[in-house]
Amino acid sequence: MFGRGRDPEEAEAEVAAQVAKEQGYGGQSMVAPLRRVLVQEPAPPRAADDHVRFGYPRPVDHAKAVAEHRAFCEQLEAVGIEIVRQPVAEAGALDAIFVYDPSMVTDEGAIIGRPGKAVRRSETASAADLYRELEIPILAEVEGPGVLEMGDLFWIDEHTLAAGEGFRTNGAALDELQIRLQPLGVDIIRVSLPYWHGPEECLHLLSLISPIDDKLAVAYLPLLSTTFVALLHAAGWQFIPVPDEEFATQGANVLALAPRKVLALSGNPVTRQRLEAAGCEVLVYIGDEISHNRGGGPTCLTRPLLRDVAAAIPIDEA
């Protein structure tokens, strides 16, 4: 960090925050104020039964999806977040709307994954092309036999990344990812994911837990690893539990716009009440088509490019 012409007296976190703002990407956090985000408009279906290939419960309503997605983006823009739009994917690429999964952004550049869901493999090339256009360096691209979907990655802090290991992310990819992240001073903690309903209805780690502030997360605890929960508890984390009846409707998937300011999917009143009781400002969006039908929440629909970690640095550390 200090090789960039910065004053060596500055705190490392302060330097990282300033560099991120200058370059337009970075912020190894899931709760620092969101400043710049990547989205992708829904791709049209190619055939009437495309939803079967993707495991959706019903055929897609494309017009409704486009309208919901436009309203979703307007909510982000209304709170001052810059929207970067990735070109619409080819017809039939229905999951491409979930831009969180194909790639991740670190303080030093992007890492391109390799989806475990085979019908999503083409999405990584589009992500890489856009990063080049945005002049965001690509640090690595995961190759087979590794598979890595970023919905399995959870920043515990700027130097610690939890990684769910299951059907969509495997040990080979995490071995490679650790090698790539080690020079950044980042360690990976592996978290075993549940079998649930099998590979066709798998869960990402972020299907089960979403950070909403420093050491505070909304979570569906019954499916989280006991070891992982104990580790977070030991580090001082607290949890807002999602009730059983709201797990299937993405209650555990919320997007932190800033500490204790979140965007959540409508239809989860108990989770919302619990978030508000914890001092959170909760914005909601309608996602009958883009979320409920496709099994992905607001985190899935966004790829954070820049989080303002400077705004989240405690005064005594700045």
Edge to edge, what strands does the sheet with 103-106 contain?
103-106, 109-112, 138-141
Burial, 318: exposed, middle or buried (Cβ in 10 Å; 0-12, 13-18, 19+)? exposed
Q: Is residue 1 in some structural domain?
A: no
Alpha-carbon distance of 264 to 292, in angstroms, equals: 12
Q: Is residue 310 in some structural domain?
A: yes
pLDDT for the residue numbered 311: 81
Q: Is residue 75 in some structural domain?
A: yes
Please provide residue 148's backbone torsions phi and psi, each rounded to the nearest 5 degrees.
-145, 120
Contacts of 157 (CB under 8 A, 6+ apart): none
CATH number of the domain to which 39 belongs? 3.75.10.10
Q: Is residue 5 in some structural domain?
A: no
Q: Is residue 9 in some structural domain?
A: no
Alpha-carbon distance of 123 to 206, in angstroms, equals: 20
Residue type, 30: M
For the full predicted model, state whether its pTM sits above 0.75. Answer: yes
> If the chain, 318 residues long, is cut into consecutive pieces of 10 residues, what is the mean pLDDT of each piece?
40 68 91 98 95 94 98 98 95 97 97 96 96 96 96 97 97 97 97 93 94 98 97 97 97 98 97 98 98 96 96 55
Q: Is residue 205 in some structural domain?
A: yes
3-class DSSP assignment, residue 256: strand
Is residue 27 within 8 A of residue 313, CB to CB? The reply is no
pLDDT digits (tens, 9 = 90+) for 31-51: 999 999 999 999 999 999 999
Structure tokens at 224: 């989280």
Q: Which structural domain range is residue 113 located in?
A: 21-317
Report CA Rg, the chain.
Answer: 18
Q: Is residue 220 in some structural domain?
A: yes
Q: What's the structural domain count of the chain? A: 1
Is residue 16 within 8 A of residue 159, CB to CB? The reply is no
Q: Is residue 259 in some structural domain?
A: yes
What DSSP string runs through 287-310? Answer: -IIIIITTT--TTTT-EEEEE-GG
Q: Which residues pair with 138 in a beta bridge?
A: 110
